Amino acid sequence: MAKKFKYDLEYLYSSYKKNYNKGDMEKAKLYNTMASQIHGVSLDAVYHDKISKREDRLGPFGIGKSKKIKYG
Instruction: Tell me the per-residue pLDDT of 24-63, one tens digit each, with 9 for 90 and over.
Output: 999 999 999 999 999 999 999 999 999 999 888 887 787 8
* Spatial distance between the Cα atoms of 16 and 25, rounded to a whole number of angstroms: 9
Q: Note the pLDDT of residue 3.
A: 56
**Max Cα distance, the chain (Å):** 70
> Is there a contact between 47 and 55 (Cβ–Cβ < 8 Å)?
no
Q: Note the pLDDT of residue 10.
A: 93
Q: Note the pLDDT of residue 50.
A: 94
pTM over 0.95: no
Q: Note the pLDDT of residue 55.
A: 86
- Cβ neighbors of 47 (< 8 A, separation 6 or more) are 13, 16, 17, 20
